[in-house]
Amino acid sequence: MTLAFYALLFVIVAPVFGGLLAGADRIVTARMQSRVGPPLLQPFYDVGKLFQKQSRLLNPIQEPLLLGHVVMMAATGAMMVSGTDLILVTFVFALASLLLVLAAGSAYSPYSFAGAERELIVLLASEPFFILMMAAICKVTDASTFGAVLASPTWVAFQLPGILIAFLMVATIKLRKSPFDISTSHHAHQELVSGLTSDMSGRLLAYVELAHWYESALLCGFAVLLFNWSIPLGIGAFLVAYAAEVLVDNVTSRAKWQLVLRSTWVATLLFAGGNVLALFVVGR
């Protein structure tokens, strides 16, 4: 099968995976709160209804930016599985998130603007880790593409335990789980104002949710890179980690942005940076 086929497969399958993951998240969360919860396919019903509703555009560039957010998030995954350099994939991933910040900042609302500022803090907290992570994976495997890393005889997770620990923490931010979901409310019980999506409605909200499904699939792909000797093991490890994230999400309250930034940088420098430094020291 060609690399273009894998790219197309990701574009089609990733939102299905992300939507099912969101549905399972709602069910597990409901059980933890002694509720029945919605059906597994409820996220798909919700997004379908959002596309049918009228949107209130506060700025003419808001919808193009959100469309770009979805397209760039899908393109990030397509580039990754089709053999693009992993460092470049990381920068495209950051660009996709930046488009969401610009869309939120284009709304004339203090809530959206505050959410956009906090999303920038999320980028500042998480993106340095992903760059370090990809650089470390390329270092230990002598490969720079997704397929080459999977074909490498080196077992990445055993070489990069610090990266693995830091990934669990940074994934909390990208999955929008407490206590690190500072830019938006992932669940309705957390607060009335939803941060950077406060002034989005209709299909605009659908774009955000669809992009988040792609983002969840991307994070699963990153986990597969860490467990490169077995794709099913990598997916299974991500699902176990996601279940742990749901548990943490339901037993913690939201942290202040200062704590999010400080703790994530400490984890990046201590675990990820220390792991990369050890690689170069041992390599000598």
At 39-49, the pLDDT tens digits run: 899 999 999 99
Looking at residue 60, its pLDDT comes to 82
Q: Retrieve residue 215's tokens.
A: 């983002």
How many helices (H) and strands (E) would you count in the chain?
A: 12, 0
pLDDT tens, 161-213? Answer: 999 999 988 888 888 887 777 777 665 545 556 677 777 778 888 998 999 99
Residue 49: how many other CB atoms lie within 10 Å: 11
What is the Cα–Cα distance from 79 to 93, expressed in whole angstroms? 10
> Quick one: tokens of 211?
């992009």
What is the distance between the alpha carbons of residues 185 and 230, in angstroms, rounded to a whole number?
A: 34
Q: What is the pLDDT of residues 83-104, one digit of tens each?
A: 889 999 999 999 998 998 888 8
Nearest in space to 93 (alpha carbons), one of 118, 62, 129, 117: 129
Between 248 and 78, whose confidence is greater?
Answer: 78
- Give the pTM: 0.91
Q: Chain centroid to CA 6: how far?
A: 20
pLDDT tens digits along 204-243: 889 989 999 999 999 999 999 999 998 999 999 999 999 9
Structure-token pair, residue 207: 């774009």
Which of 239, 227, 235 is CA-nearest to residue 160?
Answer: 227
